[in-house]
């Protein structure tokens, strides 16, 4: 179970999803918009958590299709355990109508940060008149397992760990440099940093970060007054979130 920072003004969120990547990305997005998040990898695990802890979430996000207890059965059990919680279905495909009707709302993957915020605050996806675009979605592949397997076959475990430690440290440095370049409205430097992120992360199989680097590499030239830098800032925030998720995955795989 992952737990993130506290925000007393907002209800606590229980996130239930059997897919590790979707769970990690969604938890990161929730943290970015200041929610305290508790996660469970199955319906049964979530019910056990509610039974054995003092956790009483105000919001429950649950995947519609999971092994074991899922769907309408899980919605009913969650309602019995936490009467006051709002229960929202989060799914990659349209769930059965009876499941949607039993819950308080539905959000389809992939979704943006603003759509997630809208669901939690208004009971449905919120589309403001103008909002920075989000380039991160829960369906993104974070780390290519084939690349990791190949590296493990070619070199000792310590050498593999060192490669990924170097990549994570380099990504952190480039995020700092990227923020400075954005503050200066230096599109050329943004593109240079994006190119470096695309190359380094791509070679190590960090697919999500490499894709965001490629988007940064291709940002247009802008005048200092051009408000399209808001979109570049959105890319930066997505890259930060991707780096956090990548770090968690590498901790699990390599104990970095």
pLDDT tens profile 155-172: 898 989 899 999 999 999
**CATH H-level superfamily of 13-122:** Response regulator (3.40.50.2300)
- Name the pTM for this structure: 0.52
What tens digit of pLDDT does each residue of 85-133 get? 899 999 888 888 888 888 999 998 878 788 888 888 876 543 333 344 5
CA distance 143 to 157: 17
Q: Dihedral of CA 69/70/71/72: which sign?
A: positive
Q: Where are the beta strands (DSSP E) in the chain?
A: 13-16, 37-40, 59-63, 86-91, 105-108
Q: What is the pLDDT of residue 1?
A: 41
* Two structure tokens written together for 180: 């400075």
From the list 252, 212, 250, 247, the residue with the least C-alpha distance to 232 is 212
Measured at the alpha carbon of residue 108, what is the angle toward residues 106 and 114, in degrees to the nearest 5? 90
Of the candidate CATH numbers 1.20.59.10, 1.10.10.10, 1.20.120.160, 3.30.300.130, the domain formed by 145-254 belongs to 1.20.120.160
Say if CB 9 and CB 35 are below 8 A apart: no
Which residues does the chain have with pLDDT short of 50?
1-8, 125-132, 223-224
CA distance 40 to 220: 41
Alpha carbon dihedral 4, 9, 84, 104, in 10-degree steps, equals -80
* Two structure tokens written together for 185: 């409205």
Return the domain boundaries, the chain: 13-122, 145-254
Q: Where are the beta strands (DSSP E) in 35-185?
A: 37-40, 59-63, 86-91, 105-108
From the list 122, 94, 88, the residue with the least C-alpha distance to 106 is 88
Q: What is the pLDDT of residue 124?
A: 53
Q: What is the pLDDT of residue 128?
A: 38
Q: What is the pLDDT of residue 226?
A: 54
Q: Which residues are CB-contacts of 54 (< 8 A; sequence separation ≥ 6)?
A: none
Say if CB 235 and CB 212 are below 8 A apart: yes
CA distance 223 to 24: 37
Q: What is the pLDDT of residue 16?
A: 95
Q: What is the pLDDT of residue 125?
A: 47
């Amino acid at each position: 179970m992952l737990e993130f920072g506290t925000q007393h003004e907002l209800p606590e969120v229980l996130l239930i999803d059997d897919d590790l990547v979707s769970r990690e990305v969604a938890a990161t997005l929730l943290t970015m918009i200041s929610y305290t998040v508790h996660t469970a990898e199955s319906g049964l695990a979530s019910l056990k958590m509610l039974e054995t802890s003092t956790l009483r979430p105000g919001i429950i996000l649950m995947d519609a299709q999971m092994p074991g207890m899922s769907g309408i059965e899980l919605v009913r059990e969650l309602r019995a355990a936490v009467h006051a919680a709002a229960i929202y279905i989060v799914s990659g495909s349209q769930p059965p109508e009876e499941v949607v009707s039993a819950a308080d709302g539905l959000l389809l993957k992939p979704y943006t940060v603003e759509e997630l915020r809208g669901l939690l605050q208004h009971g449905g996806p919120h589309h403001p008149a103008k909002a920075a675009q989000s380039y991160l979605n829960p369906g993104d592949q974070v780390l290519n397992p084939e690349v990791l397997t190949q590296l493990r076959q070619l070199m000792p475990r310590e050498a593999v760990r060192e490669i990924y430690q170097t990549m994570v440290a380099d990504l952190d440095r480039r995020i700092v440099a990227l923020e400075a370049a954005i503050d200066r409205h230096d599109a050329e430097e943004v593109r240079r940093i994006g190119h470096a992120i695309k190359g380094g992360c791509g070679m190590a199989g960090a697919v999500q970060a490499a894709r965001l680097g490629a988007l940064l590499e291709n940002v247009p030239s802008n005048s200092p007054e051009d408000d399209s830098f808001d979109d570049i800032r959105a890319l930066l925030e997505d890259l930060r979130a991707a780096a956090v998720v990548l770090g968690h995955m590498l901790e699990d795989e390599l104990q970095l």
